[in-house]
Structures are given as structure tokens and as C-alpha cells.
Chain A
Amino acid sequence: MPDVIAAVDEGGANDLLQDAEATLGTLSDSGSGSLGPFTANWSASATFSGGTADLIAPNTVRLTDVRMDYTVSFTFSFDLSSIIPDFCLPQVCLDIPFIGRVCTPKICINWPTVTIPVSHSSFVKFTADFNPTVTLSGGVWKVDVVIAGVPSLQLGPAAAAIILAIGAAAALVLFAIPFIGPVLAIAVAAITAAIGVAGVLGLLGPILSPFVAGLRFTVYEQPQLFEILPAAPPDAAVNVTLTAITAAVVSTDEDELVLNVDFSP
């Protein structure tokens, strides 16, 4: 029989979830990955909010409709010559009264390497099962709920929006390139076609999934050494040591998250 038993119902679990999401704060990461045929450097951040906790015995906390707000920023560079055809200004001839007829040579343009930055912010909702887990680390007991599997994230709409953003960003960057005019539309179309929605998904999925895959909400935290204050003087405060904590979802007359605590004086 444990020394202390504490239990929260689903209402209480929802309150703990909200607090845990706020405590988790903003997660961020950076790296590089494939964007269609290109390599992109990226940075991303994510925050979690909302969701409803459903306690399912024996050991599952199901969080429904958790919202992940995220921002993904990436840049990709490539040699424009690999995307658009060579372009040459034609020979131009002019009669100049005191010089005579002058013809400039044909000028062929060397397309430069361009860097296109794109940033996209949005959110995605997901449902996932979590398991309560207890750890003692650095003299502190923690009760976490840890995600049990990676849910499928619906990133299709985001990918479509990012393709549009890539097109807009590419047009902006390319517009400043000398002589691009006649092939600007071709270049933008070639870039977005080369990447495609599948290419964006191929980048976005591996960026955002790890935020969810490693999701861990701390719902209870307590130092192992615990001071109990006296009810009234002249009794002195006493320190007790929490020697063991277990957590589980238990079904009695209703589903509850139950903590069993043992301590020694």
C-alpha cells in the first residue's frame, strides 16, 4: 500500500496538459535537407497548445486535436543556368552620323547562382496516444506523458502554400537579375515544377515530425527531498524523502491518472 495516493480525473488531466504545454514553450531545430532537386538549409520552431485529454486504462493518455503552431524558414541556392536556357541579346546596329554604322556583338548572358529564402508559418492538429512515465533525475521526480507513436501530420495544404511562397520568393529574387525578363516566367515555373508539392512534403515532414515524435509533457514535478511543515508550533518541520513514485491510468468508477508515492522520513 503506497504512503500517498493522488489522482486526477480527465478534467484535472486537461488542466495539467494546458500547463505542460505552456511549460514546454517553443521547440526549435535547424539543419539541411532535400527540396526536390535542391538542397535547402532550414530552421524551424514549434509550439503546442490545446487538445483534449482522454484517460484510457490501463496506461494511455490520448490527446485529441493538439495544435502545433510552427514556422519553417529555409533557403536554397542553385545555378540558374541549370534551370533556364541560355539567353543572348541579339546584335544591335545603329547609324551614328559622325561615326557611321555601328553593330554591337551578340551578348550571351551568364546566369548567376541564386539563393531563394522562403518562410512559412501555419499550424497542424493531431491526435496521439501518450504513456505516463516516471523518472528521477537530479533529485527531482518527474511524471511525464510521452508520445507512444508518431501520428500522421496532414501537411498537404502547407506544402501547397509553400510552393506558392517559393514561386513568389523566386520571382522576387529573379526579377533583380539582369536580362532575366523574357525568361522570368519560365524560370519561376521551372523552379516550382522541379520542387513540386512532393518535394516540399519531403522536406517538411522530416522537419516537423521530430517535434511531435519526441513530444513529452511534464505533468508533475517534485523534488525527492520534501519538507513537511508543522501543523503548529512548537513542532518542527520534517524532511521526508520520496522513495518511489509510480503513475498509471486506472479505471475505477471513472478513468483517472493515479500517482502512488512512497516516502521515508
Chain B
Amino acid sequence: MSTLDSRSLTYVNTFGRRFGEPGEIRYRLVTAAVACQPAPDLPFTIEVARGEGGEQHDVTVRLREDELVAEPPKLSIAAGDLVLWHSVASTPGYAVQGESKEARFDSSLLTSETLYTHAFGVPGDYEWTDAANRSVSGAVKVGSLDSGDPKQCREWMEALARGTLVVIEGDRADPPEVSVLAGQTVFFAVSAAEGITITDARLIET
């Protein structure tokens, strides 16, 4: 439900990507269950026009008649804009896979100028690592509060609107360790990487 793993996006996650080059991008939404099956078509499109960019466009992912759909299915943006995918609560874990004439992208392998956010729902210490090749890792300490204390509750509600940023560049996470309160969102922004995941280390321990 709220597992820290960028390979499977849920409603407590978002995946974002900045599209810097003009052109047409086609993409699909896949679940882990079909990852080993032949890739479906690329039914959704993003038209990237020349422009100055800088805007954010949201795409909602939901399950409709047993199929993952993107709303809107077709998006027109300017080069340099960000597209942010998010889902509603009943949506199964999914990934976004897309391609243009020049390049491909996959939310389950974060590359440069992509973003993964995770709202941490349960207090605890989370060690995360790159499940692909363990090239980078970090930690998130998630604190709790005394929910019976109105003052703490008020402060917490305010804190929920504040995000925490972790920038990943190559094999380095900056800062390598962050502390948040349960319910707060951490933004993992990849400035340079060749395909990493943000995965709770407990999920890949052998």
C-alpha cells in the first residue's frame, strides 16, 4: 500500500519527468503483473512543442475495466515542461514506459531529470537503495507524534504541506539521510543517473 519502491507506483507516489526536446512521446502504463508479458501498445501520447517550458502537467492514472488509463490520454506541452503521473487510491502498482524517436524512458528506472515522490505513512527508519545495481543509497527517518496532543497535531498538519528534497547525482544522494514526520513527502529528484530505483532495502535483501 505504501511501500517505498519506485518500480511500482501507488497513490502515495508520483513520477515526474521533464521533457526537454520537441517531438511526440508515446507511452503505456503497465503493472508488475504484466511486466513479463509482451509489452502492450503505447496508447497515450505527449506532444512536445517548442517553447520555453517550466510548467507542470498532471496525468491521473486509474484502473478502468481492468485497464490502466491515463487522464488525459493525450497531452500537449512545451519543451522543458514537467509531466507528473499520479494515481487514485484503488489503482494497483504501475510503471510508466514511453518512447520517442530519440529516446525511451521508464519510471521503474529513474534517469536524469526525473522525479519520484513518496509520502511516508508509517513511522520507522527506511534504508533505501538502487535495486538495479545498488549504485546509490540513503536513509529516511520517519518520526511519529503524540496524536493526543492538539499542539503536536496542529504542527504536524502544517508539516504535511512541506516537502523534503533528496537530489541524486550519479552514486551520490544529497543529503544521504533525511528526517521527516509520518505523512510527509520526500522528493527524490535525479539530476544525473543511468537508471536507478528508489527501493526499500528490505525488499531486496537476500
Q: Which residues of A contact B (CB under 8 A)?
A: 89-94, 96-105, 107-110, 112, 176-179, 181-186
Q: Tell me if B24 counts as interface (CB < 8 A to partner A).
A: no
* Residues in B neighbouring A177, C-beta threshold 8 A: 121-122
* Residues in B neighbouring A176, C-beta threshold 8 A: 122
With A96-B115, A102-B84 as known contacts, state yes or no: A109 contacts B89, CB within 8 Å. Answer: yes
Q: Looking at the assembled complex, report how far the CB atom of B126 sits from the nearest CB atom of chain A, in whole angstroms.
A: 13
Q: Looking at the assembled complex, report how far the CB atom of B89 sits from the nearest CB atom of chain A, in whole angstroms.
A: 4
Q: How many A-B residue pairs have CB under 8 A?
A: 102
CB 8 Å contact bits of B182-197 with A (1 = contact, 0 = none): 1111010101000000
Would A94 and B187 count as touching, CB distance under 8 A?
yes
With A100-B54, A101-B56, A178-B1 as known contacts, state yes or no: A92 contacts B185, CB within 8 Å. Answer: yes
With A92-B163, A178-B122 as known contacts, state yes or no: A183 contacts B182, CB within 8 Å. Answer: no
Q: How large is the interface on B (under 10, 10 to 19, 20 to 34, 35 or more residues)?
A: 35 or more
Q: Tell me if B12 counts as interface (CB < 8 A to partner A).
A: yes
* Residues in A neighbouring B181, C-beta threshold 8 A: 181
CB 8 Å contact bits of B69-111 with A (1 = contact, 0 = none): 0000000000000101010011000000000000000000000
Which partner residue on chain B sits nearest A179 by CB separation? B121
* Residues in B neighbouring A109, C-beta threshold 8 A: 89
* Residues in A neighbouring B90, C-beta threshold 8 A: 110
Would A104 and B183 count as touching, CB distance under 8 A?
no
* Segment with Cβ contacts to A, from B25-33, B130-138, B154-162: B154-162
Would B89 and A181 count as touching, CB distance under 8 A?
no
Would B119 and A98 count as touching, CB distance under 8 A?
no
16 new A-B contacts, CB < 8 A, other than A102-B84, A178-B121, are: A91-B161, A92-B162, A94-B187, A96-B187, A96-B189, A98-B18, A98-B189, A98-B191, A99-B113, A99-B189, A102-B115, A104-B14, A105-B84, A110-B90, A182-B147, A184-B147
Task: Choose among A96, A100, A105 the residue with the greatest number of B CB atoms under 10 Å from its CB.
Answer: A96
Would A181 and B183 count as touching, CB distance under 8 A?
yes
With A92-B162, A99-B16 as known contacts, state yes or no: A181 contacts B156, CB within 8 Å. Answer: yes
Q: Looking at the assembled complex, report how far the CB atom of B81 sits from the nearest CB atom of chain A, in whole angstroms.
A: 9
Would B189 and A103 count as touching, CB distance under 8 A?
no
* Residues in B neighbouring A101, C-beta threshold 8 A: 56
Which partner residue on chain B sits nearest A91 by CB separation? B161
Q: Tell me if B179 counts as interface (CB < 8 A to partner A).
A: no
Would A89 and B160 count as touching, CB distance under 8 A?
yes
Q: Tell me if B38 counts as interface (CB < 8 A to partner A).
A: no
Q: Tell me if B145 counts as interface (CB < 8 A to partner A).
A: yes
Would B18 and A179 count as touching, CB distance under 8 A?
no
Would B147 and A183 count as touching, CB distance under 8 A?
yes
A156 to B121, CA, bound (A): 38
Among all A-B residue pairs, the 9 with the closest Cβ atoms: A178-B121, A94-B163, A184-B147, A110-B89, A185-B148, A178-B2, A92-B163, A185-B147, A179-B121
With A92-B185, A105-B86, A176-B122 as known contacts, state yes or no: A181 contacts B18, CB within 8 Å. Answer: no
A182 to B177, CA, bound (A): 24
Which partner residue on chain B sits nearest A88 by CB separation? B160
A93 to B162, CA, bound (A): 7
